[in-house]
Amino acid sequence: MKPEKRQAVLVAVMLAMLIAGVAWSALRMLDHRRSAAYAAEDTASCAQLADQITQLRGQGTIAAASDQADEQQQELAGAVNRAAQRSNLNAEWQQGMRIEHKRAVRIDDTPYMRKPALLIMKGLTLEQLTMLLHHLTYDSAYTAEQIQLDAPSGEDTGNRWDADVTLTYLIYSPTPSQGQGR
């Protein structure tokens, strides 16, 4: 190969290598620029989410998380006892009291399920019952959904009632499609 031709080939190879280098560098730059843009977008979104999380934590909850449902179930008996104490109910009434837990049911197409528990009590006055239910449902996740009062049959029971109260609480349990984010 003539020196001139060799020189031309070398120049061409050098230019080709430079072009390849520039192409690689440009592609790398574009890749990093895209990453930086995504990162900026994510950071702004993260800051916004952090504010929302802080705010939501301050607002409290109306529902239990699905992984806390069992805990909530066990908590009900304790909550009833505490409400009973605050309502000045003596220990006798507990002898006729029983709690029956029911299966949770999804509420329409919302991400929530309603978990009912039937509270069966005997021989309570209306005042005792309303006080008990007030303390039980006030400032708590429980709602008195149904109340059935029956006067005991037979002798005069002196304004005492047998009560079946259905208490419910919400469980936040989104379906996979409802839980999809972003």
Q: β-strand 63-65 against 160-172: which pairing, if any? A: parallel
Query: Taking CB under 8 A as the rule, does residue 9 contact another protein?
Result: no
Closest of 160, 164, 178, 117 to residue 142, by C-alpha: 117
User: Closest approach of Cβ 65 to another protein, in Å?
Assistant: 6
Query: Taking CB under 8 A as the rule, does residue 60 contact another protein?
Result: yes
Rank residues 33 and 82 by Cβ distance to another protein and give the closer one: 33
Q: β-strand 143-150 against 160-172: which pairing, if any? A: antiparallel
Options 6, 61, 70, 77; binder of another protein; rule CB under 8 A: 61
Q: For residue 166, with 0-12 CB atoms within 10 Å meaning exposed, 13-18 middle and 19 or more buried, which class applies?
A: middle
Distance CA(111)–CA(176), nearest Å, equals 10
Residue type, 140: S
Options 69, 81, 99, 112; binder of another protein; rule CB under 8 A: 112
Options 81, 122, 144, 160; binder of another protein; rule CB under 8 A: 144
Rank residues 95 and 103 by Cβ distance to another protein and give the closer one: 103
Distance CA(43)–CA(41), nearest Å, equals 5
Angle between helices 126-137 and 69-86 (to 10 degrees): 140
Which range of residues in 74-82, 83-91, 92-100, 165-173 is near another protein by CB under 8 A? 165-173
Options 84, 97, 117, 142; binder of another protein; rule CB under 8 A: 142
User: Closest approach of Cβ 95 to another protein, in Å?
Assistant: 23
Query: Taking CB under 8 A as the rule, does residue 123 contact another protein?
Result: no
